[in-house]
Amino acid sequence: MNKQEIYDFIKSKNIWYEITEHKAVFNMDELSEIEIPYPEYNAKNLFVRNDKKKNYYLITIKGNKRVDLKEFKNNNGTRPLSFASKQDLMSIMNLIAGSVTPLGLLNDKDLKVTFYLDKDFLKDKQIIGVHPNENTATLWLKVEDLIDIIKEHGNQVNVVEL
């Protein structure tokens, strides 16, 4: 799905959402320069794979946090992890670097990617800001709605302490 298809899909779900259109951003520093309505709920996404290149993971955390991949491996029982290639990102989720988002899982036809979501998103307002498969906007959703969308698609969802 491209950006417009994501918008149409979300609208068809009859769930709460807001859209913030903005210039293309490629990292959290660039995003911090843009005025957005819920900066504390913005997501940072890491697309990683194991050392055998067989298992892929999307790790989504609050924008101000970091993930230690060794600690993640130990806590979640994976093999050693590293960042997946741009080619893997394109072939599996049809995304370019800088546009990684949980909504890219809707393009994961073979359900290769396991989703890990930071439990912190379930505190406070329970809102999450993610790209709509392009880095020129942020789509704000209720966290539970995002989880439901991904589960409905078929990807495994894990909500964990990160």
What string of DSSP letters covers 7-53?
HHHHHHTT--EEEEE-S---SHHHHHTS--S-GGGBEEEEEEEETTS
Domain ranges of the chain: 3-160
Order the strands of the 56-62 sheet from edge to edge: 81-83, 43-50, 56-62, 113-118, 157-160
- In this structure, which amino acid lies at residue 66? R
> Looking at the domain covering 3-160, what would its CATH class be?
alpha beta
pLDDT tens sequence for the chain (162 residues): 999 999 999 999 999 999 999 988 877 777 778 888 988 999 999 999 999 999 999 999 998 899 999 999 999 999 999 999 999 999 999 999 889 999 999 999 999 999 999 999 998 889 999 999 999 999 999 999 999 999 999 999 999 999
Q: Phi and psi of 21, rounded to 5°?
A: -80, 145
Residue 102 CA to its chain's centroid (Å)? 3
Cβ contact 9:150 at 8 Å: no
- In this structure, which amino acid lies at residue 36? I
What pLDDT is recorded for position 14? 94
How far is residue 114's CA from residue 2's CA, in Å, rounded to a whole number?
21
What pLDDT is recorded for position 91? 97
What pLDDT is recorded for position 25? 83
What pLDDT is recorded for position 36? 87
What pLDDT is recorded for position 64? 84
